[in-house]
Amino acid sequence: MSLLDRYIARSYLLNVVTLLVILFCFVVTIDVSVNLDRFSSVATRAMEARGQKPEGLAHVGVVALMVADLWWPRLLMLFNFLLGLVMVGAMGFTCVQMMRRWEFVAVLASGQSLHRVWRPILVVSAGLLLVQAANQQWVMPRIAPLLTRDPGDAGKHDMDSASVPMTVDGDNRVFRAALFDPEREVLSDLTVYERTAEGRAVRMIQASSAVWDGSAWRLDGVHVTVFRHDMFALSSPHRIETNLSPTELKRLRFASFSRNLSWSQLGAIIRRNRDHADQRLAVDDRRASARLHARADDLERIRFGRVSTMVGTLLAIVICLPFFVTRVPRNMVIQSMKCAPVAMAALMGALLGAEAPIAGVPPQLAVFAPVLVLAPLAVLRVTSVKT
């Protein structure tokens, strides 16, 4: 890497880090100012549980620890959401700094193309997107339970137990449980209604507890009530295979939980849903099969949408670079005002376009529709630069 590459890459990376730190501090400060009383109450309970008096600097220190405990996983998630916007902003700051020092003129005077300035910015951007992908694949799944907490849960590292409302699985059965322990993967006071394709209950299975063994719920304390003896024997089942795994129950409980799962975890849920969809189709239960395929398609959009969003973010940077990398000095305020709507449209289009289903197109391909729109624009912008 040449001296010019190192200089631009270092300036760009420093601006990215600076903007991230500023945004993180702003967001955390706003949250703490709004929820300071809740953080203080949590810190007070924690100190009283250890036999300490909640007062003075010790109390302030525990409050700070509670804020840090709640927000360090959130900042990792925020990094994934803000990275594209931050990279575009950092690119603008880097180019403005170089423009003010007349460094673009020096590059041209040395006989080099202005496209030469693009290379270190795009290389660093691609590297940051790989860091984002690694964070999404390996870090976020490990801390996903911590992202479901609110300020009142600061200091807790386990997901709270909760009841399971009536939930339909892939085999048209209805599950209901008084308590679901997500850490131990145990259901308490479980009731399962087995139904016909028309929705009529034919058998009710009750169990004092159920433990997930990796592929099915293993039942203890089973009691069976048969409503139609012509369909079932009197034997009591001790295992129920279903697509409602503990991960799926967490996903249904927390709307954002599935977005923090890894590629393999999403793939496992998708395969389980598709397998049960095929089973329901085999018994001519088309409604349940369509519902399961719709769930699987939603998860496919989340999974492949990550790739589409990263490619779209890189294309958005390419589209925005010509606003700042110019042959002659320009008013950067005006250039920034021109770039802002274009950058927001490109970034939001890459993000939201990957979420939109397209009729008749597989979700694995539909998510790349924004890329197909942004790619020609990026090529047009690259070829329009005067250098």
C-alpha to C-alpha distance for 228 and 287, rounded to whole angstroms: 23
- For the chain, state the CA radius of gyration: 27
Q: For residue 4, what pLDDT is reported?
A: 87
**195 strand-pairing partners:** 201
Nearest to 24 by CA among 36, 32, 34: 32
* 261 vs 12 pLDDT, higher one: 12
SS (H, E, C) 34-48: HHHHHHHHHHHHHHH
Half-sphere exposure (Cβ direction) of 228: Cα atoms closer than 13 Å: 9
**Number of alpha helices (DSSP H) and beta strands (DSSP E) in the chain:** 11, 6
Nearest to 264 by CA among 303, 318, 216, 214: 303
Question: CA of 316: how far to CAs of 119, 233, 310, 341, in Å?
Answer: 15, 62, 10, 12
In percent, how much of the chain has pLDDT > 70? 96
For residues 135-150, give the mean pLDDT.
Answer: 86
Instruction: Give me the phi and psi of 317, to 5 degrees please.
Output: -65, -40
Q: For residue 230, what pLDDT is reported?
A: 61
The rounded mean pLDDT for the chain is 88
Q: For residue 326, what pLDDT is reported?
A: 83
5-14, 141-150, 177-186, 187-196: lowest mean pLDDT where? 141-150
Q: Name the strand (E) or helix (H) holding 94.
A: helix 56-100
Report helix, strand and coil shares of the chain as percent, to nearest 5: 65, 15, 25
Q: For residue 1, what pLDDT is reported?
A: 57
Strands (E), 196-308: 201-212, 217-226, 239-240
* Cβ-based neighbours of 138, under 8 Å, separated by 6 or more: 262
Query: Between vectors from CA 338 to CA 333 and to CA 342, what angle results, nearest 5°?
Result: 135
Q: What is the DSSP letter of 139?
A: I
> Largest Cα–Cα distance in the chain?
91
Question: CA of 12: how far to CAs of 32, 45, 98, in Å?
Answer: 30, 45, 11
Q: For residue 144, what pLDDT is reported?
A: 82
Reply yes or no on whether the pLDDT at 273 is more than 70.
yes
For residues 297-309, give the mean pLDDT.
Answer: 92
